[in-house]
A and B are shown apart, each in its own frame.
Chain A
Amino acid sequence: MKPAAFDYHVPSTAAEAVSLLAELGEDAKAIAGGQSLVPMLALRLAVLEHLVDLRRVEGMRGIERRDGSLWIGAGTTQAAIERDAEVASAVPLLARATPLIGHFQIRNRGTIGGSLAHADSAAEYPAVAVALDARLEVLSPRGARTVPAGEFFHGIYSTALEADELLTGIDIPVWDGRCGFAIEEFARRAGDFAIAGAAVAVQVDGDGKVSRCGIGLLGLGSTPLRAVKAEAAVLGSPAADVAPADVGDTAMATLESVPSDLHASADYRKHVGAVIVARSWQRAVREATDA
């Protein structure tokens, strides 16, 4: 349970961090809170020659309300997000997802950027990011670019980030009007990664018809997924007329490669997933229509 030896680097700017990552290549990795990376190192699921610690990098922490969006520095801890009033009012889905991450001791260290870049398909933040069409800000020695959340997650622990790229911030659209948000998941113990979960954002117009909808799924594929068909099926319909169970069933119908392991078979995961989607849909709609 001891990590293999590595060299330690502590850059003080993001530019310095990415030039180190570029120079050190595939054997180097950035570390922020380390709440996923250190266990992988301890179990030697990952063996790295170099760790580039981001703790002194300036400008990568903080929460800022911008025009139509909320920007969060990648190095912002989950604990800081959990207690931030701006997050709670501007992006309630993110606020509600946060207490589901690990335990409070983990959230004191874990960061939003780390959670997204680690890309565990059963993690909460990636599912929220895809549901809300977040934009991920990425820096490399070649410059900055923005990657839509929908294009960021490539596979198990695999993202659009190149070896010399660093996730520096995340910009999340703020929904206005009559909106509701809910995230639900089923895990065997509090704080465990979920067997299945869903993050639902819904907006209704003056007539109570669904005008906008984002459904993110977690634990149901090799990446966080967007239930595109289920979203399309409800758009334009009066929210009150939609049967929640149908939303759940539609969301599960198109899934391919649902994980199957000792915790749950693929069929069981889909069963749980359908129920969880239905429940979160119901809660989100209730909030939107009460608004």
Chain B
Amino acid sequence: MPEVQIRVMVNGRPRTATVPPRLTLADFLREHCRLTGTHLGCEHGVCGACSVLLDGEAVRACLVFAVQADGAEITTVEGIAAADGELSPVQAAFREHHGLQCGFCTPGFVVSVTAFLRDNPDPTDEQIRDGLSGNLCRCTGYQGIIEAVRAAAERPAEHTRTAGT
């Protein structure tokens, strides 16, 4: 099974690697790039913990092979905060509104919500709930997360900055 060379941009940094085709993008990010903020829960597309931005769109990194991402730009949760470490509006809202407890699912939520608010800057509560439906959280009961998204949506000028590639 020949390995394949890929070149990707991860959080603005070019990466070249030779990978086996069966390596998922999630495992590539964690093991080759040592970006362990992308978490793996179910590894078959149900839980959403591994969500990353692929060319700006939120996807499940466990359902993309690294070879399929060749030439793409990827943003992981490590690329969401500002370079100086200042939390993005979505991250800050999660902290302020108890949008997390154990934190395992949080990277997936933060990445998904960042893309969701970029595309839906003024969401209704129903849209927020629908937008969150692809990410599972076993601690919070979701109410804090919904409040965090609502709060982050009220700061539209800021989150567009971090939602770009």
Q: CB within 8 Å of B: which residues of A? A: 1-8, 10, 31, 34-35, 38-39, 41-43, 51, 53, 55, 79, 99, 102-106, 108-109, 189-191
Q: How far is the CB of A12 from chain B (nearest CB, A)?
A: 13
Which of A79, A104, A105 has most chain B Cβ within 10 Å? A105
Across the two chains, which residue of chain A brings its CB closest to B56?
A: A108
Which of A6, A38, A53, A190 has most chain B Cβ within 10 Å? A38
Secondary structure call for the B interface: mixed
Give 19 pairs: A residue, B residue, CB < 8 Å, sorted on A: A1-B42, A2-B27, A3-B22, A5-B21, A6-B21, A34-B63, A34-B65, A35-B45, A35-B63, A38-B24, A38-B63, A38-B64, A38-B65, A39-B44, A39-B45, A39-B63, A41-B22, A104-B112, A189-B133
Q: Is the CB of B1 within 8 A of A7?
A: yes
Total contacts A-B at CB 8 Å: 89
Q: How many residues of B contact A (CB 8 A)?
A: 32
By Cβ-Cβ distance, the 6 closest A-B pairs, closest first, are A103-B134, A8-B21, A1-B43, A190-B133, A39-B44, A108-B57
Which of B27, B68, B116 has most chain A Cβ within 10 Å? B68
How far apart sit A2 and B45, CA to CA, in the bound complex (Å)?
13
Q: Does B67 contact A (CB under 8 A)?
A: yes
Q: Does B60 contact A (CB under 8 A)?
A: yes
Cβ of A108: which chain B residues have Cβ within 8 Å of it?
A: 54, 57-59
How far apart sit A190 and B136, CA to CA, in the bound complex (Å)?
12
